[in-house]
Amino acid sequence: MRAISWLGTRSSIFLMSTARRRLCENVRWPMRDLHLSHLAKSLGVDCQNGDAVLRGLAIDSRAVKPGDLFVAIVGDRVDGHDFIESALANGAVAVACARPIDTPVPSIQIADSNQVCASFGRLMRADFGGVVIGITGSAGKTTAKSFLESICSGAGSTVATSGNQNNELGVPLTLARLSENPEFAVVEMGASRKGDIAYLKSMAAPQIAVLLNALEAHVGRFGSLDTIVETKGEILDNLTEADTAVLNADQLHYASWRKRAAPAKIIAFGEDSSADVRLLDTVDHGLDGSDITVDMLGTRVALRLSIPGKAGVTNALAAMAAAAALDIDPDVIAQGIEALSPVEGRGNTIQLDRGIRLINDCYNASPSSVMAALDTLNKARPPRTAVLADMLELGDDGPRYHREVGKHLSNLGIERVIAVGELSAHIKDSCSVQALHFSDTNELLADCPDFLQDETILVKGSRGMQLDRFVTSMTSSLGDAKC
């Protein structure tokens, strides 16, 4: 049962956010039409075969909607130019291409498709009168985005990042949907290297910047944790007094991020006593979620989360803090938090035959997220099995991180682990529980072990390890719950 009570006030933050909301409500106007000629001018090229009004952006001919600009991307395995006719059949009104085309359709020619998409996104953002919320971090971005999307949808029209479209192509696809003239846009931002967040932020220009954390995920790609901290912090650069930074008060880097965000307003979330949105109490129900009590800038909120684990609680706090910056009613915030169920591949539970429960958390993995997932699995009744594949992009420290996971498994006493991949052999060798090892997912699928009645199975690994194939195999054979 949700309960909301008034504890006090931190009126300076609420007055700031109310002013912003009133500005948006009073000044918002219908989005102006974006013409191909406008885009061409921003790119310094000419239109061919006339002009067109652009309603949206597509880089996949199958996803084209009427009125879209289709960007023909030349990839390693697929050339978008081969699908121009298909895109036009689906309603594309113009084409951006890297080489001349024979089709008499409004078009622009430019070699860099990323530049086309970025310019499209920037033009849409420049004409948008609502509020953009940007979210980044090493872990939890999609869950925090989904929480905030659920909240904002209860307060007004909202667009948000779809799936994993959080890179240099995905962010423009989200910004293209600003043509719908929503009140809120929630934009997730990921990074592969230093400078990526700065680049994405230059397109999205969020008035509210949410920084969840900086963890060891992908440290092999970045080179060091310090570089990850620096990169994630790029979302805080060049904020103004009218903007708000939402920061994790429990992170070691909180103080430096707070300075970096100046002169923006700060709303902190977490368990630390300094947090503006602070966790007061939690009752962990394992796979069934948590009951939490939160002091949200003076409003006491008690609610139930369906997202399991401590990470779910942290992401909910982040979303509540961002929603508080928007001055969304506390009851609407609570309703949005309680309405969200786990996203597929990110901790959703699948009920199989014979009482077997499968926790599908195979979208990605880092040492901290695997440890947290194992803690959640440990709250389930025995028997329990952890199916863990390699955590990739950890650099030279990869073996050590996998050994630490094995030791954590031993400390928890989870009954069995199935390790998949070369690095995961270190998990098997470092734990004292029953352990099986498979060289890759293909070998696992070819010789899948049996699972017991009422067993709980956690499936987690880096996306490149393709454990989603194991999940599909399990769910397609419900009768005996074998691969």
* 293 carries a ligand binding annotation: no
Q: Which two tokens stand for residue 203?
A: 């397109």
* 482 carries a ligand binding annotation: no
- DSSP conformation class of 88: H
Q: Which of 16, 5, 6, 35 is nearest to 326 (CA)?
A: 16
* 121 carries a ligand binding annotation: no
Return the amino acid letter for 447. Answer: D
Residue whose tokens read 């400390």:
411
Whole-angstrom Cα distance, residue 53 to residue 279?
48
**3-state class (DSSP) for residue 107:** strand
Return the amino acid letter for 36. Answer: L
Whole-angstrom Cα distance, residue 169 to residue 339?
30
Whole-angstrom Cα distance, residue 57 to residue 69?
5
DSSP secondary structure, 217-283, as one string:
TTHHHHSSHHHHHHHHGGGGTT--TT-EEEEETTSTTHHHHHHHHTTSEEEEEESSTT-SEEEEEEE
- How far, in whole angstroms, is CA 9 from its chain's centroid? 31
* 140 carries a ligand binding annotation: yes
Largest CA distance in the chain: 70
Can you name the residues that pair with 4 across neighbouring β-strands? 301
Q: Which two tokens stand for residue 366?
A: 């880092």
Beta strands 357-361 and 434-438 are: unpaired
Q: What is the CA radius of gyration of the chain?
A: 24
Scored b (16 or more CB within 10 A) or e, 344-376 reads: ebbbbbbebeeebbbbbbbbbbbbbbbebbbbb
Q: Which two tokens stand for residue 438?
A: 């498979």
Whole-angstrom Cα distance, residue 231 to residue 197?
7
* 143 carries a ligand binding annotation: yes
Q: Which two tokens stand for residue 478?
A: 């419900």
CA distances from 430 to 47, 188, 401, 419, 425 (A): 62, 36, 11, 11, 9
- DSSP conformation class of 67: T
| 8 A C-beta contact, residue 178 and residue 125 | yes
* 379 carries a ligand binding annotation: no
Please return the burial class of 32, using the count of CB atoms within 10 Å of its CB with bins 0-12, 13-18 and 19+.
exposed
* 456 carries a ligand binding annotation: no
Residues annotated within a binding site for ATP: 137-143
Residues annotated within a binding site: 137-143
